[in-house]
Amino acid sequence: MNSLKPIILFLILLVISGCPSSKTPNKDSAQNEERSELNGSIKIAGAYALFPLIVEMSENFMALHPGIVIEVSRAGTGEGITDILTKKSDLAMISRPLTDEEINQGIWTIPIAKDGVAPIVNQRNPYIQRLIDQGLTPEEFLRLFTSDKPLTWGEVTGTDAKEKVIVYTRADESGAAEVWADFLYKKPSDLRGVGVSGDEEMIKNIQENPLALGYCNFSYAFDLQTGERIKDIQIVPADLDFDNKIERKEMPFSNLEEAHRSLWLGFYPDNLCRELTIGSPGKPSDPVIVEFLRYVLGDGQASVEKTGFCPLNNVYLNYALDNLN
Tens digits of per-residue pLDDT, 172-215?
Answer: 778 889 899 999 999 999 999 999 998 999 999 999 999 999 99
Q: Among positive and negative, which fits the CA dihedral 183, 185, 190, 193? A: negative
For residues 123 and 254, membership in a common domain is answered with yes
For residues 265 and 307, membership in a common domain is answered with no
pLDDT of residue 242: 79
Domain count, the chain: 2
Q: Is the pLDDT of residue 56 over 50?
A: yes
Does residue 255 sit within a domain? yes
pLDDT of residue 248: 65
- Specify the CATH number for the domain of residue 239: 3.40.190.10
For residues 209 and 286, membership in a common domain is answered with no
Higher-confidence residue of 300 and 252: namely 300
pLDDT of residue 253: 77
For residues 63 and 155, membership in a common domain is answered with no
Does residue 110 sit within a domain? yes
Alpha-carbon span 252 to 55, nearest angstrom:
29
For residues 267 and 280, membership in a common domain is answered with no
For residues 139 and 186, membership in a common domain is answered with yes
Q: Are strands 107-122 and 166-170 parallel, antiparallel or unpaired?
A: unpaired
For residues 79 and 200, membership in a common domain is answered with no
Span 216-267, pLDDT tens digits = 988 889 998 898 999 999 999 988 887 878 776 667 678 888 888 888 777 7
Does residue 2 sit within a domain? no
Does residue 227 sit within a domain? yes
Does residue 16 sit within a domain? no
pLDDT of residue 31: 46
Domain that holds residue 217: 116-272
Residue 25: exposed, middle, or buried by beta-carbon count in 10 A (0-12, 13-18, 19+)? exposed
Does residue 13 sit within a domain? no
Work out the mean pLDDT of the chain and round it to a whole number: 86
Does residue 5 sit within a domain? no
For residues 129 and 267, membership in a common domain is answered with yes
For residues 237 and 307, membership in a common domain is answered with no
